[in-house]
Structures are given as C-alpha cells and as structure tokens.
Structure 1
C-alpha cells in the first residue's frame, strides 16, 4: 500500500493518504507517551481506592462481623466488597470520561493538538470523541478500582466474625497471601524488561518494566521497613513515645506499607517525571549552546512551497557581510530528502563544517585522511571518524560535471555526512556506513557517515553535510538561514541596520531570542507533566489520610488504654504525629529511590526508543528534596489531624465498652 520510488529516482508515486500517514507516524510517539502519562492517574487511583476501601472496611467491621454471624460466608463478604469497588469505579469512570472530554476540548481550543508545543502549528485539530475509546478508558477505570479493592476484600474474607464482634482487629501482615519474594521478583523482571527492544517502534516493554518496578518496590517496602527501623531502635531507647511509634512500625510493617503505599507510588512517579523533564531541559539548553554559536540569525520567511524554497538572495548576504561590526557570516541550506516512502522525509543541512585547511586538502584530493575529526560545530555523540579519504586520481571536475564513467574509472568520491541519532535509528545510518542519497550529486557518489550528532529539532532524522561539498555536488549556492558573527566592538545599532536592510522580507533573531522561544515551547509542551505530578501527589496524600483514619479507627481501644494509663491528650497527638512523620519519611525515602530508578528507565530506555535521541541524566537535587520534604510535612499534618479523633473521649469510652 505504500508508495514505491521509481527507478529514475526523480519521481515518487504516492497515494492520496500517504502524507497524512507519514504525519501520523511522526506524532505517534508523542501521542503514545501522553496516553501513558494519563494512565499514571489510573495507577495512583488504584492505591487511592485501596486506601478508601480499607478505611470503609475498618469503619464497618462490626457490620461485616454481624453479617458473618448471621450467615454471610467468607466468599460472599469478599464479593460484596468487590461489588462496592466496581460500583465506585463505574461512577468515577463515568465522571472521569465526562470531565476528560471537557478538558480535551478546552486544551484543543487553548493550546492546540500539541498542547502548545509548537510542533503542529499549521494544524487546527477538532475534538475526535470515540465512543469505543471512551468505553475502553471507562473499563480501565473500573479495573483500577476493582484492583484497589482486591486486598480489602480479601481481608474481609479472612476475618473471624466472632472475634471481630468483640473488637479484635484484622491482622494486616499477610495481605492477599503475598510472599516475601514477590517484590524482589518483580524488580528483577523490571530490570530484564529494560533490555528488550521496542515493539513496532514503541517502548512497550519499558512501560511494563516501569509498572513492575513500582509494584515490586511497594511490595518490598515491608522488608525495608523492618530492616531500616531496626537500626534506629538504639537511638530512641530513652524516648518512650518515639520508641512506641518505632516499635509499632516494626511489629506491623504491612500497616506502615499500607499507609504509605499511595505516597510511594505518587512520589516515585513525580520524582521520575521531574528528573526526566529536568534532564531533557538541561540537555536541550546545552544543545542550544552548541547549535547557536553566532550572535544573530537571519531567516527567510517561509514561502508557500515550504522552508527550503524560502531563500536569502546573494546580494543581501553580501550586504550583511560588508556591514561594519560583522566579523563573518555563515550560510545554512535546508533540503528534504525522501529516503523511505513509508517514513517522513529527512532534512539535509548544508553548513560549514571544516576549517580552511581541511577544505583545501579535500578539494585537492588528499590521499590521507584528515586528522581534524572533532572540530565540527555539532553536538556529537561519541567520537567522530576521520574525514573520508578521496581517490588520488579523481579530478574535482569529475564530481562537478557528473562524469560517472570517469568517477568509476578512478574511484567513486566519498563525501562525509553527519547523521542525527534519529537518522541512525530509523534509516540505519550507523557510524562508518556508506549511504546513497538519491537526487544529491551525480551517480556513484558515496556518502560516509562520519559522525553521529544530537538533533532535538527533527524527530524524523537529519543529515549534515559540509557547505562546500554540497555546493560542489549540486551547484546550489543559495542559503535559507544566515548566522551573523559580530566583532567585539560592533555598533550598538547594528541590529536595527540589519532589520532595515532586510526590508521586512527576512526574520532577524538573536541567539538569546531563539533560546528563550525554544525553552518556552519546551515548557509549554511539558506543562501537562507538572499537572500530573500535582494530581498524583494530591491523590497520594488523600490515600495517607484515608489510611491513617482507618488506623485510628482500628486502634481506638489501644489509644483509650494509653489514656487510661496516663498518656495526656498532647502526648497522644504527638505519638500519632510521630508515627505519621516516621511512616511518611519511610515512604518518601522509598519513593525517592524508586523514582530515581524509574527516571533512569525513562531517560535511557523510554526516551531513546520513543523519539530516537538520547540525553544526559540530570538530577535536580534541590527540587527533589523539596518535593520529598513537602510530602513528609503534609503526611505528618494529616496524621496529626487524624490523631485528634484518637485523643477524643470516644477512645476512652471504647475501652469501657470493651470491659
């Protein structure tokens, strides 16, 4: 069904829908990653449902015990809690689909299809609401709610009704019969999945690895709680309240895990997104510093035929170069090449890459390779190869005139090109490989991939060729962009002179302007991740509140007994706040470590497999520590507010009723 190139190389046969299909291929990774980010809400929502249903089950424990005594067996009690979770998920999914549709409509109206990223400015998408997709997302919401109600349902099934009527609480130390090795097993599975290649161009295995890693880390939390708190016991021997809080967490590690599971999940995802976005932004900033070496840039306004048809006139280039205060100018030529009709065309960039000495040696047909391999003004990934040696008997006129017979007799010329990471991944342009670029130069010319460079502007792939090589092959000396290097003593009004000389036909921007616009586009593109982080943290704190409320209700007699033996209301509040601080601190540490592990997967696996470019890992420690400390403070406050119920008179009355 795809178009096939004709043997002449000059024509390309296409179907009417091929252009749209290639555009969809270009935006597919962007759409899939947004969908996966949206599923973060379902993941944290499952933990929120788990916390809420745990609270609900604890509040209604006497009712479940009475139903059990009256004849409701264990399986029926389990099905009852499952039915509640499914009903809760159905109502939430219905409201979520309606709210999500409204938010999608508002986002398209205000930000566009790329959420303000600027990638598809020429496209004004309309809301495409699919009943099938909405039903699918609703089913996912119901499934997440049912999964969140799994363990509370099993806890109700395993309770002893007669003991529960007497006020004995359920033992949470073995939720669902999970063994101690299930968490480490999931972590090992996640590590193995990270090494799998993408499936149909998508990092599906890496997504599953992230989910397995999060679940494995949460299931491993009880073991870490017991081991970590054991080392803190000698430090609190002289502090009774702290020792009481510490020993309870040690004796009931699953209770601490239940209380902090939502915090661990939400904080881990927030940390991972923060590190991923911060690493990408830092890499983009360094990339801009490399690709924008000049002070000013002139660009021809895009014409109807596209950016490559909008050119600067030679007279205007000469005028700019002769202006006082201009040190030198460098032209940049852009062209598109269709190498694979199934994929979007790649961008060919012709710009000066070699020094004058290297260019003279190449033009003279030097037999030895140039030693200046890393002086190209590109953000290279790794080391570049030496410039390819030219056949000694090849006359430069052979290349210019296209005499293929002479070229074949004396050896085909070899031209250096630098491929972007996306070009290397999508089209197999690995380091040292020889390429054929149809329509670029005479037949027989071989293009050698001399280096791989990082290009964040062109996801479809790009090639960079030296401007002199390009002009010699094509006899095309036109340029689309012009880099203007200024002298140290350049006049202050030079920019105004350039704007007057352009006559409004060309766009003039400084490196600072381009940098500011690029980072602004980046921030708008990833603004949705900050909202998702806020939602995840809020849902995690709601889960902490529900978990601590359930713990308070389940321990009313314990708190009443502590008040009977002399613990004051202030001390009781301090005990609950200390437990909240300790548990959320453990959750914050676990979430921080787990989030860093997930961020490594996002940076080094998901991002290269999705967008075919790499970036350096950058850890914004100040932001991460502030995020973790804010979660600890919010969790402590939540526990203190829940402890106010424990310090009330109902706790004392609970002990009297039990006697």
Structure 2
C-alpha cells in the first residue's frame, strides 16, 4: 500500500512534471548557492584575518594596543619591569604609503632580540643575512608582498613620508609560511627613524612568567596605561578587528537568506497548484484507507526531495562560485574590509551540512501548508466535481495574515541586538508571510469588483480568474515576494543614493581637495607645505584637516578623529547635523560633534560632557551635536583643529580643502600645487565634482 501510494503521490508526479520539479529545485538552489558562496568567502576571509593577527602576535599572552598615532616609548620599560611579565617586545605597526600609485604596505618594526622569542618566523625566516635586519635602510618582505610588488632581494622600494620619499632596500624575503599576507619587517629603531615616528610605539607584545595570572597582570597593566591604550589578550584583539566586519558579513548572509526565502515561496505556489491538480488522486487514496498522517508524510517527503535536490545543486554551485571569486577577485566583496587579503577557501563540512538542512527546511516550509490542507481535505469533497473552484478562502488564514503583518510592523521599531538589526530581518519575513496569507482574500475582493466589457477570449480569462481567485493569488505569491524585495532594494538604493548626493554637496563645499596620499598613513603635509599651499596666488581659502584614530573602549573598533578648521557657531554649514545642536556654555569644555554611529554605540548626546584620549591626561569635551557620516563605518568625532593642536602639539595635516580665487582654473591650480610641494610628490588632487561622480558611480 505504501509503495503504491509513494508511486501515486510522490515519484509519479515528480517524473510526470520534470519542468515544475526542476523550477522549484532551482529556486532553492539559487538561494543556497548565494548563501554558500558568500559564507565561504567571508568565513575564509575572517579565518585568514585571525590567522594573520595570530602570526603577528606570535607567542604573546597579552597585547598592549594604542591608537595608530602611537604612545610614548617611555611606557615600555615601565611595563617590562612589572611583576609577572617575563618578556615585553616593543612594536611599531603602520601602513606605509608607497611613492608610486595608490598602493600601501603594512610595515612592522620589531626589536629583533626580543621578537625572536615571540615571532621567530618574522625575524629569522627567509633568505638574507640576519644581521641585515638591523640596517637602517633594510626591510624584509613576506613572500606575498614580494610577489605583489614584483621585487626580489636587493631591489629598492620607495615610500612616502610626509611629502618626501624614503628609499629602502629589500634585504630578504620571508618564507611562505612565516606570514601569508603582504608585510614588511624592519628593525624598530630604523622604522621609527625612517617613518618619522621617533619615540613612538603603538603595540607591546607581552609574555607572562610561568604561573602568572593573566587577569591580575592585565589589571596592573591597565592602571599604568595612558588614556586610549588598552591591554588585551590576543584573542580579544583578534575579535576586535574582525568585529568591524560583522554587520557587513551578516548583511550579505541575509541577502542570501532572502533569495532562499523567495525560493521557498516558489515551492509553496508550485506545490499548492500541483496538489490541487492531484486532489482527486489524494481523495481516492484516502477513500481506499490511506490515513491523513501517511498522506501528509508522503507530501512532505516530496517537498523534502525537492529541497534536497535544490540544496545539493546550490552547494555545488556555491562552492564553484566561491572558488572562482577567490581566484580572480579575492575575498573582498566590495566594502574594502579585506582589501588585498589573500586567503585559501575554507570549507567546513558542518557548514555545508547546515546549508543542506536549510534547503530542505525551506522547501518543507513551502510545502507544509498545501500538504496539510490536502491531507485534511475530506475525501468526499475531493472527489466532488468543481471542488477546486469552490474552495473558499480560509478565515483563519486571513486572521493569521493580519496578525503576522501587525507583528512585523511592530518589530520595525525595536532597537538592534548587539549592534545587529535582527528584529528588522524578522520583520521583513513576517511582512512577506502576512502579505501572502491575505493575498487570496485581497484577490477575491478585487477580482469580484472588475466589470469590463471584453472580447470573448479575454472575458473567458477574466471569468476564470473571478471563479478561482485563490488559485490566481497562489500563482502570484512568489511574484509578490520577489517583486516586493526588488522594489524594496530599488527604493533603498535610490534613497541612499539621493541621501549620499545631498550629503556630498554638504561636506564637499570647496572647489578642489588635496590629499597627501591615496592610501597609507605615513604621508602628511607639514607646516611648511601648508603655508606654501595657503599662499598660492590662485588659492582664495584653504582649510586643513588632520585625521587620527581613537580607542574609546577595549574590545571596540577605533573611531576616527577629525580635526578641522570649524566655526562652532555655524557648524551646520560644514557638517550635516541631525537634531538640534547644543553649544557649550561659557567656560565649559570645548565642543565636539559625534557621528550618529558614535552617538548610538557610546550613548553620547548633545550637551553631554565626555572625556576623550586626546592629549595626556584625559581631556573633557562637550558634545555639541550629532552629524550624519556616510564615509566612515567605524564612527567619527569632529573637533576644531586649533583645540586639537593645543592639546596634542600635532600641527600636521592629511587633507586640505581649497577654494579657488575668481578666474583660477582647476588644472592650473593643480599644477601650482604640485610645484609648491614637489614635482614628484604623489599627492592626490581631485575636484569636488569628480569625488561626487566617483562616489555615486558605486550605485
């Protein structure tokens, strides 16, 4: 009996309608393929990111981490002599700007005698005499960096420091396994000298004495460290770096889930219509003694088979896509987090099994309702002629749909969970599901009100739709889901593009913008260069800008500090403020303006007095307003440059906004700017219109 029922209800219909079966399986396969490809690429990138960080940390038990600008090296001997610390290794880590093109290279300055015990592969690995590492002009490259830069031992590399060029000699190439990413290794004293970081460190790697309690030592360290410098375990340090990409990776995963969600609705619509066509067969089997439970199990098995086939196809396709993307485009999927990161494809059987289960689960979810309805339909009703045309819309389904829509709308106002909009994702699913549940009733009401005089073929078609509105609604349910998502994405992208365009107009008021280098952090404009630029005859006005990073809390990603010429009374002319600003009262700490992300993450609001690690000791500042920032995904804080300089003594600049004098041509101004700096200085000069064009071209 079961064998005959299987033949009648599952295998026979699947063979009889291969096109329908294939379409449903491919709908599941598309979502699974996208999910597998995105997950494999992101997982491979995150794993390689962690591996690279662990290779740099080596055998360290704790890492003292400061901002990219660094902290005073006098802190090092105080840390090295603390109880419980067996070894402290000073490190200067920076991203060096290349003098040619838009390239940069991560460079690490190490004390070889101490790093030997923590990161021996970085000190002793590779070709070239070990003594060369102490040469003032020597740099060792990882094998990946040597291949990417096309250099060998003995070749020269030019880097930009300020607007000058520093030439270093490649003294050796590290072994392939020493460090898999692009890296340069130098003696720490040479790195401090050649990159103008005398007296500065930004990391200290620590090995503890046997038996020392890491938490006790960590607390002792933290009491000694200046503001903005924190002691972390290597694992916490790695997770802090990877956390920056968490929301980005989750959004890509959710995009794949949306595709899979759409596939489930396609399975739903095809299964409903297929089971309606087979209602007489099902009713006959029920009349012959087949139980509801058996019918339901067989119909769910059919959906499970479709899901299994689709998931298997999707896993294979996703694996191939991930391989090709890694081979030809790398692991960065557009956000720039993993730019130039090289990774091997990481395949975890458990992950693939999860995606197989997801494919089957979504197919079963799409099959469950029509299968339950078919199994519970009375046999007499199923054998009655015209049963399919007279199936009323279920009042329970409509009520459930309305409740689902209300629940989805309610979730839209909930806050993020640990920085992730999980409630928003659930709300999207509920709104789509609710729409599908009420669609038959909506179709019934709309079709019943159509009164048109049509030609006979069209009139017959309309009559068929009016007689079977539920079937029409089911047929278009997958279209409703997919089209609504397309419209939502289109509206979202268009809205963001419009908002970005308005934002760019506000934040780019000048005619021309000059940047010391397209990438890296070693290029800058000194006071002399700033004076030359400001005094050029074609320049009517120049506003200089300095960017740094601040660590506001351990385990958090750094925020960007922007020091720029700013009139606090008219900040809205420069910054796209959100809400009502609140300027400091006379005698209150100076003003800062925080981006929306910083305000949300750290709970800052206008009028609040906060302390920031700008200068030493901690300085109080008044939050004067919140502004919208589309450029920095880690958050940003803006302050007046004169206040920043007074507290730090830093008079350097990274960028400058230039207003041209009346009649001055941008091309002539660019030539004068290059001549004022140095004819071969690799500065980047771009008009505001070009920046807008490049930014909007992404969309």
Alignment TM-score, normalising by the size of structure 1: 0.67
Could you tell me which residue of structure 1 aligns to residue 533 of structure 2? 320
Q: Are the aligned partners of 1:284 and 1:456 in contact in 2 as well (CA < 8 Å)?
A: yes
Distance in 1 (alpha carbons) for counterparts of 2:606 and 2:326: 41
Q: Are the aligned partners of 1:154 and 1:175 in contact in 2 as well (CA < 8 Å)?
A: no
Q: Deviations over 1:346-378 (max 9, x none)?
A: 111000111xxx7xxxxxxxxxxxxx3454401
Q: 2:578 aligns with which of 376, 381, 384?
A: 381
Q: Are the aligned partners of 2:439 and 2:473 in contact in 1 as well (CA < 8 Å)?
A: yes
Q: 3-state DSSP class of the match of 1:210?
A: helix
Distance in 1 (alpha carbons) for counterparts of 2:426 and 2:254: 11
Could you tell me which residue of structure 2 aligns to residue 291 of structure 1? 507
Q: Shift of residue 328 of structure 1?
A: 1.7
Q: Are the aligned partners of 1:107 and 1:115 in contact in 2 as well (CA < 8 Å)?
A: no
Q: Give the 5 Å matches for 1:401-440.
A: 414-440=589-615
Q: Deviations over 1:528-587 (max 9, x none)?
A: xxxxxxxxxxxxxxxxxxxxxxxxxxxxxxxxxxxxxxxxxxxxxxxxxxxxxxxxxxxx
Q: 3-state DSSP class of the match of 2:359?
A: helix
Q: 2:650 aligns with which of 467, 472, 476?
A: 476
Could you tell me which residue of structure 1 aligns to residue 321 of structure 2? 103
Cα distance change, pair 75–483 in 1 and its aligned pair in 2 (3 A): same
Q: 3-state DSSP class of the match of 1:389?
A: coil
Distance in 1 (alpha carbons) for counterparts of 2:437 and 2:627: 42
Q: Are the aligned partners of 2:526 and 2:651 in contact in 1 as well (CA < 8 Å)?
A: no
Q: 3-state DSSP class of the match of 1:509?
A: strand
Q: Give the 5 Å matches for 1:122-521.
A: 122-159=340-377, 168-170=386-388, 173=391, 178-233=396-451, 236=452, 244-301=460-517, 307=521, 309-354=522-567, 372-386=569-583, 388-391=584-587, 414-440=589-615, 445-491=619-665, 492-500=667-675, 501-502=677-678, 503-520=680-697
Distance in 1 (alpha carbons) for counterparts of 2:646 and 2:366: 67
Q: Shift of residue 272 of structure 1?
A: 0.9
Q: 3-state DSSP class of the match of 2:566?
A: coil
Matched, 1:12 2:225: no
Structure with more of its chain in helix, by fraction? 1
Q: Are the aligned partners of 1:310 and 1:480 in contact in 2 as well (CA < 8 Å)?
A: yes
Could you tell me which residue of structure 1 aligns to residue 309 of structure 2? 91
The number of equivalent residue pairs is: 478
Distance in 1 (alpha carbons) for counterparts of 2:422 and 2:429: 11
Q: Shift of residue 508 of structure 1?
A: 2.2
Q: Are the aligned partners of 1:348 and 1:462 in contact in 2 as well (CA < 8 Å)?
A: yes
Distance in 2 (alpha carbons) for counterparts of 1:202 and 1:310: 35
Matched, 1:24 2:220: no
Q: Deviations over 1:126-166 (max 9, x none)?
A: 32222222211211110111112223323432456577668
Distance in 2 (alpha carbons) for counterparts of 1:110 and 1:282: 32
Cα distance change, pair 375–79 in 1 and its aligned pair in 2 (3 A): closer
Cα distance change, pair 204–338 in 1 and its aligned pair in 2 (3 A): same
Name structure 2 gaps, 5 residues minimum: 1-213
Q: Are the aligned partners of 1:155 and 1:172 in contact in 2 as well (CA < 8 Å)?
A: no
Q: Deviations over 1:46-97 (max 9, x none)?
A: 1221233334435545544554454433332222111111111111111111
Alignment TM-score, normalising by the size of structure 2: 0.63
Distance in 2 (alpha carbons) for counterparts of 1:468 and 1:481: 16
Distance in 1 (alpha carbons) for counterparts of 2:515 and 2:547: 11
Distance in 2 (alpha carbons) for counterparts of 1:373 and 1:295: 20
Q: Which moved more, 1:498-507 or 1:136-145?
A: 498-507
Matched, 1:73 2:303: no
Q: Are the aligned partners of 2:441 and 2:470 in contact in 1 as well (CA < 8 Å)?
A: no
Cα distance change, pair 151–8 in 1 and its aligned pair in 2 (3 A): closer
Structure with more of its chain in strand, by fraction? 2
Cα distance change, pair 41–8 in 1 and its aligned pair in 2 (3 A): closer
Q: Shift of residue 213 of structure 1?
A: 0.8
Cα distance change, pair 460–284 in 1 and its aligned pair in 2 (3 A): same
User: Cα RMSD over matched residues?
Assistant: 2.8
Cα distance change, pair 390–299 in 1 and its aligned pair in 2 (3 A): same
Distance in 2 (alpha carbons) for counterparts of 1:494 and 1:7: 50
Q: Shift of residue 493 of structure 1?
A: 2.6
Could you tell me which residue of structure 1 aligns to residue 267 of structure 2? 49
Distance in 1 (alpha carbons) for counterparts of 2:466 and 2:280: 27
Q: 3-state DSSP class of the match of 2:639?
A: strand
Of the two structures, which has the highest relative contact order with CA contacts closer than 8 Å and spacing of 6 or more? 1
Could you tell me which residue of structure 2 aligns to residue 115 of structure 1? 333
Q: 3-state DSSP class of the match of 2:552?
A: coil
Q: 3-state DSSP class of the match of 1:6?
A: helix
Cα distance change, pair 465–122 in 1 and its aligned pair in 2 (3 A): farther
Cα distance change, pair 8–146 in 1 and its aligned pair in 2 (3 A): closer
Distance in 1 (alpha carbons) for counterparts of 2:405 and 2:381: 38
Q: Shift of residue 343 of structure 1?
A: 0.3
Q: Are the aligned partners of 2:440 and 2:470 in contact in 1 as well (CA < 8 Å)?
A: yes
Cα distance change, pair 74–223 in 1 and its aligned pair in 2 (3 A): same
Q: Are the aligned partners of 1:108 and 1:115 in contact in 2 as well (CA < 8 Å)?
A: no
